[in-house]
Amino acid sequence: MLDAGRHPNIELLTYSEVVRVEGEKGNFTVTIRKNSRFVDEKSCVGCGDCAKVCPVIVPNLFDLGMGARKAIYSPFPQAAPRTYVIDRDACLNKTILVCENCARACKPKCIDFDMPPEEKEFKVGAIVVATGFDEYDPRGWTNYGYARYENVLTGLEFERILNASGPSGGHLVRPADMKTPKTISFVQCVGSRSVGERGYPYCSYFCCMNTIKNSLLAKVHEPDIEKIYIFYNDIRAFGKGYEELYLRAKEDKDVIFYKGKPAKIEEDPKTKDLWIYIENTDTKVVEKIRSDIVILSSAGVPAEGTAKLARILGIELDQSGFFKQKDPTSFLESAKEGIYLCGSAAGLKDITDSVALGSAAALKVSEHLKGQRVKREEEKVIPIQTDGRPRIGVFVCHCGINIAGVVNVAEVEEYAKSLPGVAYVSRELFTCSDGTQRFMQEKIKEEKLNRVVVAACTPRTHEPIFQETCRRAGLNPYLFEMANIRDQCSWVHAAEPEAATHKAKDLLRMAVARAYHLEPLETRQVPMDSKILIIGGGIAGISAALDLAIKGEKVTLIEKSDQLGGRVKELGRLLNSELNGKELIKRKLDELKKRKVKIITKAKVKEVKGFVGNFEVTIEKPPSEKGKKPKKEVLKVGSIILAIGSDLYLPKDKFGYGKFPHVLTNMELEKLLAKESKELKIAGKKPKEVAFIQCVGSREKEGNQYCSRYCCQVAIKQAIELAKQGIHVTVFYRDIRTFDKGAEEAYREARGLGVVFLKYEEDVPPEVLGKDKATTITLSQPLSKTEFELPVDAVILSVGMVPKEEDFAELQNLLKIPRGLDGFFLERHSKLGPVETNTSGIFICGCAHSPKGIADSIFSAQGAAGKACILTSKDHIDLEPLVCQVVDQELCRACGICVKLCEFNAPQLVGRGDGVLVCEINEALCKGCGTCAAYCPTGAIGARHFTDEQIDVMVDSLLVWDK
Amino acid sequence: MTKKGALVIGGGVAGIQAALDLADSHFQVYLVERSSTLGGRMAQIDKTFPTMDCAI
């Protein structure tokens, strides 16, 4: 957020809207109206003096009306930009009264009550629509009493209550009496998966995981919570790592997952407690559950103004009121060329997918911006001299109550003043906020600080932000150090504030000691090769190659098998689409043929050398004739996109697979459907009664814990096709996960066609019985003590996706990128870096990252391609200077331990000329892990930025505790 | 002649990502947001799962 606010190539137009769009792709003229803030954006520093003197108090809509703000305000502490705004509907000055308190209090004189709205025209090549969603207002669900009962909240309102900058300062309290609730209940699918006037037919995608997260988070906030009920229809934990989080919540004995939807909620008028009435589906008894607070997981609905914007843009809406995509296999494209939909614009998405879609949209947009690059001179800052005595500035962060709720930050601030080398100390509510960043920048200059320490949260997410602030102030960013007093103090020692404060001081003292010894480092520049290699020619690899080629990038696509198209080319008609898999692939390949893409089939990666911008990949092709040697080729590329896909789980000896000819996997059925679209025959005969078993090889206790994401929606698509052929279908499922656009509607259609859905528990799966063919499926339901028996002609196993071990292991080894516990390749950050890896220049997409459906694979491929394009837009790249180096060649005895240890082949033994071998480290290959430095028996190798001296002083300072 | 840029409508997490990626590729971006601040829905929520990083 902050990055976007201060990027030199981004002109931020907040409090603004699009009023007119003319022209076409490559050449739009857009008129934007900037509404009046009545506060000058250029001069406002966000000090807040104006709000202090404003006499008007109104509900803060950012807190959904739960908190209060003044008529002149900034909605939340970390707001970017920090510029205040006057709510003229609330401001006294619009009436006959003359107030102007704020204008008098404002020192930079930013307030202008007569500021007119401004209209401005811009020339753009393409447009991204990322207008998001609003929360459904659940007042229509009168039986739940929202807005009548104070302690019934929506999901977003609950988020604000948990949030440190929210109306209760992050204290978990219920609105009626500000008491901490002991029992919390979540009701899922309020307004989602609903027909008629009570909401929308689709699944809202994010609410199951949001509830699970909040149930875990609530317990972190208040360990004394006794019970958390989650009333649900199906738990939809379909993303990477989601099922694992669900299992974590399930393991907590105080979190109760209760299948069913409450009939009504009543309030006890005296205590304001709530009574939830719900029928227990196992015992058929209506139960009455008391809860202190109820959270309605409200649907996401199209953002206000979507219809108006659609008219302005000249694009259509779908039945639910979201923007309409051109084609269900592509989330990005609207019907009008040059206008792209991302985030929740075309239908709801979660954060991870919104981020990937954002990168994907950037790629599509850049197709229309050929030759429009801007070169900007870097802002010149006067460098701060760093060779004198260290003058350390310490900034201690409250993080709202996230830290200050436990750690005595005032004491930490006082303590900091006593530490050697510390020249300046300050304490801020949110150190990462835009205002504080500017303040830090000024203080660095003003106080001549040449080292900065921030005692706040994790360097993983925030170090780059503070380093950038140092850089802007003219301070070398490597003279910055962080003490994590949130994760390591306030979070883990929440129950012991004194000890947490003590530890915070320890960590700060260590950080200051290290800062004292930090040295300025310079980034290194290496040339950037603009060629891109894509490994894997399935739908993800093809999509990435095509979009890159359209953009004009130089692409090489390699595929292990003898033809492109992967699994998709064998699929029948796709869900909610007129296309079948073969046609989809053909369409893309036809387009691909028109462009200059180097395609190499039957190729395997044999060796990978080099680093970002400068990879050398050796591939091998089988010999053209027997007896000859395999052909090798070296490809020089700047970045690599890994799109190797996945395998399907092999259900060996499960549910009679391999034993009975009438037990097929969903892929085997799909191939039959793709071939014989008119009438399905299994083993030569048309079946009358077919059963599907879901989650075969997915969501297992032992084995694959994850959900395979694609299989529910595929089963429903297949069930509909069979039902339309007059075949009776029964689906044995655990949770039906139909989250994609149109999938919930398909689920409803399937039920309408007579498809029967029967839930089973993991511990009691259905059994497939028969002598020489599968004839019966039995399912015992222990809670209701019933036994179900179904005669069948065929059984379809919906199998999960698994990483193809051989390929994954080999590429993990060659590319040096890690894999997660699930066996798939690990992304840089589960939310903010879904298509990147920890190795710069290597990207992942499609099922190499996690199981995905077709549309998901395509946009993740476009996202990865988009990220690669950021690299190709440069002629050189900066490499982090945090690497190992041979600090003293004289000490090196050429023992070669470092060479053997290094995973990245950075150290090499080379002749020095006088016949003596010494170690040399290729800085471009070195990742700075420090393994070699730690093992080097003579101390010849050191790790830059983590020198022995810097670590020693940290340890020393830890051991001297001088209260 | 001034270069043509890209218009991004909406300053939530998706819009910000698109804007940043385009800006990092050296294109001029106009990021339009209806409200007075960036961040969208994600700025309203508390921590994000599974890493529990703050949403800002």
Nearest CA among A841, A838, A820 for reference residue A928 = A838
Q: How far are the Cα atoms of A237, A502, A504, A511, B47 from residue A406, in angstroms, in the given order?
A: 33, 11, 11, 20, 17
Q: What is the DSSP string of A486-513?
A: IIIIIITTTT-HHHHHHHHHHHHHHHHH
Q: Is the pLDDT of residue A677 over 80?
A: no
Count Cβ atoms below 10 Å from residue A694 Cβ, excluding itself: 26
pLDDT mean over A232-255: 95
- The predicted pLDDT at position A513 comes to 95
A216: closest chain B residue by CA: B49
Q: Is the pLDDT of residue A959 over 60?
A: yes
Q: Considering only CA atoms, which of A910, A935, A936, A914 is closest in space to residue A922?
A: A910
- With CB atoms and an 8 Å threshold, state whether A830 touches B28: no
Measured between beta carbons, the chain A residues lying within 8 angstroms of B19 are 4, 7, 10, 128
Say if strands A392-397 and A451-456 run parallel, antiparallel, or are unpaired.
parallel
Confidence band of A63 (pLDDT split at 50, 70, 90):
confident
User: Any residues with CB less than 8 A from the CB of B48 and at least 6 apart, and which?
Assistant: A213, A351, A831, B42, B54, B55
Contacts of A53 (CB under 8 A, 6+ apart): A101, A102, A104, A105
Contact A481, A511 (CB under 8 A): yes
Mean pLDDT value across residues A720-748: 96
- Residue whose entry in the numeric block shows the structure tokens 């050191």: A942
- Give the pLDDT band (50/70/90) at residue A66: confident
Q: Closest-CA residue in chain A for B7?
A: A127
CA distance A863 to A852: 14
3-state secondary structure A550-576: HHCCCEEEECCCCCCCCCHHHCCECCC
Q: Is the pLDDT of residue A77 over 80?
A: no
* A156 vs B contacts (CB less than 8 Å): 41, 44-45
Instruction: Name the band, by pLDDT with cuts 50, 70 and 90, for residue A624.
Output: confident
The answer to whether the Cβ–Cβ distance between B36 and A85 falls below 8 Å is: yes
Cβ atoms A65, A166 nearer than 8 A: no
Alpha carbon A427 to its chain's center:
31
* Mutation site, A2, A3, A12, A309, interface B, largest B CB count within 10 A: A12
State how far the Cα of A365 lies from the Cα of A367, in Å rounded to an integer. Answer: 5
**pLDDT at residue A742 in the model:** 92
User: What residues in A contact B30, CB-CB < 8 Å?
Assistant: 10-11, 13, 30, 32, 122, 124
User: Could you count the other beta carbons within 10 Å of the beta carbon of residue A330?
Assistant: 20
Point out the residue among B2, B6, B50 whose CB comes nearest to the CB of A245: B50
Supply the DSSP string of A119-143, one letter for each residue. Answer: EEEEEEEEEEE---EEE--GGG-GG
Kindly indicate the confidence band of residue A832, based on its pLDDT and cuts at 50, 70 and 90.
confident
CB contact under 8 A, A80 and B40: no
Query: What's the whole-number average pLDDT of chain B?
Result: 85
> What's the pLDDT at A75?
84
Counting one residue from chain A and one from chain B, the pairs whose CB atoms sit within 8 A come to 269
pLDDT tens per residue, range A49-60:
899 899 999 998
Measured in angstroms, the CA of A411 and the nearest CA of chain B are apart by: 24
pLDDT, residue A963, reads 47
Chain B CB contacts of A83 under 8 Å are 36
Indicate the SS3 state at residue A753.
Answer: coil
Please determine, for residue B51, whether its predicted confidence score (pLDDT) is greater than 60: no
| Contact assignment for A132 to B41 by CB distance below 8 Å | yes
The model's pLDDT over A420-447, given as tens digits with 9 standing for 90+, comes to 999 999 998 888 887 888 899 999 999 9
Note whether A359 contacts B34, CB cutoff 8 Å: no
Which residue among A7, A130, A457 places its CB closest to the CB of B54?
A: A457
For A144, which DSSP code? G
- Strand, helix or coil at A473? helix
Given an 8 Å threshold on Cβ–Cβ distance, is A873 in contact with B47?
Answer: no
Cα–Cα–Cα angle for A341, A343, A349, rounded to 5 degrees:
125
Residues of chain B contacting A244 with CB distance shorter than 8 Å? 50
Residue-level pLDDT at A381? 82
Q: Residue written as tokens 């300053």?
A: B11
- Is pLDDT above 60 for A178? yes
**List of residues 6+ apart from A95 with CB closer than 8 A:** none
Question: Does B6 contact A15 at a Cβ distance shorter than 8 Å?
Answer: no
CA A44 to chain B, closest CA, distance in angstroms equals 13
Distance of CA A337 to the CA centre of its chain: 27
Q: Is the pLDDT of residue A185 over 90?
A: yes
Which residues from chain A sit within 8 angstroms of residue B22, using beta carbons?
A: 9, 362, 365-366
Tell me what pLDDT residue A744 has: 96
Q: Give the whole-angstrom CA distance, residue A449 versus residue A426.
A: 13
Instruction: Report DSSP state, residue A812.
Output: H
Within 8 A of A76 by CB-CB distance, chain B residues are 37, 39, 43
Of A734, A750, A643, nearest to A695 by C-alpha is A734
Distance, in angstroms, between B45 CA and closest chain A CA?
5
Alpha carbon of A485: minimum distance to chain B alpha carbons (Å): 14
Q: Which residues of B touch A209 (CB under 8 A)?
A: 49
Task: Decide if B27 and A27 are in contact by the 8 Å CB cutoff.
Answer: no
- Decide if A525 contacts A614 (C-beta within 8 A): no
Phi-psi region of A88 (alpha: psi -120 to 50; beta: other; left: phi over 0): alpha
Contact criterion met (CB < 8 Å) for B7 and A217: no
Look-up of token digits 């430095």: A933
Average pLDDT across chain A, whole number: 92
Find chain A residues with C-beta within 8 A of B41's C-beta.
132-133, 156
CB contact under 8 A, B6 and A79: no
pLDDT band at A949 (very low <50, low <70, confident <90, very high): very high
Mutation for testing the B interface, residue in A10, A73, A118 having most B CBs under 10 Å: A10
Q: What is the mean pLDDT of residues A777-783?
A: 79
CB < 8 Å to A369, chain B: 4-6, 27
Judged on CB neighbours under 10 Å (0-12, 13-18, 19+), A962 is exposed
Give the chain A residue nearest B16 (alpha carbons). Answer: A4
Buried b (16+ CB within 10 A) or exposed e, B20-52: bbbbbbbbbbbbbbbbbbbbbbbbbbbbbbbee
Percent of chain B with pLDDT over 70: 79
How far is the alpha carbon of A310 from chain B, nearest alpha carbon, in Å? 12
> Mean pLDDT lowest for which of A156-170, A545-559, A856-870?
A156-170
pLDDT exceeds cutoff 60 at A400? yes
CB contact under 8 A, B39 and A27: no
Q: Could you tell me how far CA A298 lies from the centroid of its own chain?
A: 21
Q: Which residue of A has its CA nearest to B8?
A: A128
Q: Is the peptide bond before A138 cis (omega within 30 degrees of 0)?
A: no
CB–CB contact B27 A9 (8 Å): yes
Q: Do B27 and A305 touch (CB under 8 A)?
A: no
Token pair listed for A46: 């966000």
% of chain A at pLDDT higher than 90: 72
Per-residue pLDDT band at A1 (split at 50, 70, 90): low
For residue B45, is pLDDT > 80? no
- For residue A595, pLDDT over 90 is answered with yes
Least CB–CB distance from B43: residue in A1, A12, A122: A1
Res. A640: pLDDT tops 80: yes
The pLDDT assigned to A962 comes to 54
Asked whether the beta carbons of residue B22 and residue A457 sit closer than 8 angstroms, the reply is no
Q: Show Cβ contacts of residue A491 under 8 Å, excluding neighbours closer than 6 positions.
A: A220
Residue with tokens 């001088």: A962
Q: Closest chain A residue to B32 measured between Cα atoms?
A: A13
Tell me what pLDDT residue A275 has.
Answer: 97
pLDDT band at B39 (very low <50, low <70, confident <90, very high): confident
**ipTM value for the complex:** 0.94
Q: Which two tokens stand for residue A322?
A: 């979201």
Residue B22 is nearest to which of A14, A132, A362, comparing CB atoms? A362
User: Which two three-digit tokens encode residue B54?
Assistant: 């703050």
> Which of B4, B9, B48 is facing A351, going by the closest CB pair?
B48
Q: Which two tokens stand for residue A87?
A: 């709510």
Question: Cβ B52–A17 below 8 Å, yes or no?
Answer: no
Q: Is the pLDDT of residue A753 over 90?
A: yes
Cβ contacts of A427 within 8 Å, gap of 6 or more: A395, A396, A397, A398, A409, A410, A413
Closest residue on chain A to B50 (Cα): A245
Please give the backbone phi and psi of residue A140, each rounded to the nearest 5 degrees, phi first: -65, -20
pLDDT band at A460 (very low <50, low <70, confident <90, very high): confident
Listed residue (A447, A434, A466, A427) closest to A384, CA to CA: A447
- Residue type, position A837, single letter: T
DSSP sequence for A665-719: EHHHHHHHHHH-SSS--BTTB--SEEEEEEEETSS-SSS--S--SSHHHHHHHHH
The mean-pLDDT minimum among A296-300, A402-406, A843-847, A913-917 falls in A913-917
Residue A886 — φ and ψ, nearest 5°?
-80, 110
If you average pLDDT over residues A575-602, what whole number do you get? 92
| CB spacing of A374 vs B3 below 8 angstroms | yes
